Amino acid sequence: MERSIGFIGLGRMGLPMAHNLLKAGAALRVYNRSKQKAAELATNGAVVCEAAVDTIVPGGVVISMLADDAALEQTFTPALAARLGPGGLHISMSTISPATAGKMAAIHQAAGAAYVASPVFGGPEQTAAAQIWICVSGEESAKQRARPILEKLGRDVEDMGTDPAAANVVKLCGNFLIAAATEALAEAFTVAEKQGVNLTAMNRMLCEKLFGGAVYQRYGSRVLSREHLPAGFQLLLGLKDMRLTRQMADAAKTPMPVVDVVFNRLLSQAAKNRGDQHWTGLASGAREDAGLPA
């Protein structure tokens, strides 16, 4: 693994990632709009930069973990890509649209730098434990350079090909499946509750045994308990991702009617000022529609 790395974006996911890289022996240059989070890393040896561009060494490696397309585009301007320059590598771990990923790749290519998309599955707890799943796509030699770094951050790195947008397609599809599963769980638990069924036993039977797996076990328990705070992944971010999925489907002329269901469910909850909840909060909508308390 390369030792000298720049890191931009120290939110709920970026901060534990940066900690893991420091533990792995990396010399980090970090930037975050909120200096408090960056200061936390300084005590462990990171160099805190005053601007995003200061994290970049020409020909070096920089990682970004930013909230959305706008944040990434505002940060990684052609000027920053030019500073990265020939031999440089940008590992973008944000959940963004495939279109923005393609645009970013073109900006970097024009500067002689490489761009690798590496969005992740997992929350802050899994990130802190280096147990996230990572999708990666981009030019082969760039992925080979990125892999030793990514392997310090997650439990598995899955290659999605050379198209820099491919990993973001997979990420959006994965988040769509999680949202759809959550909606299905909410509807199933709601109708069962109204029939007087023991929901704990139902959850054990369906989510732990029949549909055993990380999503059904973790999300089934949250839907059942109705504990949507604190939020590792906020409902507003889930709404953003479903908006991107709808846009992706539209661009590909692919009907995805279930996306509309979960998008509107999330939008309804956001309109009720529940955007800071975990995105399993979308389950409240099914309960309210059935006349049950959220």
According to the model, what pLDDT value does residue 251 have? 97
- 101 exposure class (CB count in 10 Å sphere: 0-12, 13-18, 19+): buried
| 30-41 mean pLDDT | 90
Residue 37, pLDDT above cutoff 90:
no
What would the mean pLDDT of 259-274 be, rounded to a whole number? 98
pLDDT of residue 55: 97
Question: Which secondary structure element, helix H or strand E, spans residue 84, and what is its range?
Answer: helix 78-84
Beta bridge partners of 29: 6, 47
Q: Mean pLDDT, to the nearest integer, of 196-206?
A: 97
The string of pLDDT tens digits covering residues 237-252 is 999 999 999 999 999 9
- Output the pLDDT for position 35: 84
Indicate whether 212 pLDDT > 90: no
Mean pLDDT of 241-270: 98
**Predicted local distance difference test score (pLDDT) of residue 265:** 98
Best CA proximity match to 105, nearest among 95, 117, 97: 117
Place of tokens 């005590």: 43
Mean pLDDT of 31-46: 90
Q: What is the mean pLDDT of residues 157-166?
A: 98
Catalytic, out of 171, 194, 209, 272: 171
pLDDT at residue number 39: 87
In this prediction, residues 145-172 reach a mean pLDDT of 98
User: Measured between alpha carbons, how far apart are the two ends of the chain, in Å?
Assistant: 48
Q: Which residue has the tokens 């109708």?
A: 191
| Structure token pair of residue 198 | 């023991």
Kindly state the average pLDDT of the residues 91-106: 98
Domains of the chain: 4-163 (3.40.50.720), 169-289 (1.10.1040.10)
pLDDT of residue 40 exceeding 90: no
Give pTM, 2 decimals.
Answer: 0.96
- Taking only the tens place, the pLDDT of each residue in 122-156 is 999 999 999 999 999 999 999 999 999 999 999 99
Active site residue 171: yes
Nearest-angstrom CA–CA distance, 152 and 221? 29
Question: What pLDDT, on the 0 to 100 scale, is given for residue 73?
Answer: 97
Q: pLDDT at position 287, please?
A: 97
Percent over 90 (pLDDT), the chain: 96
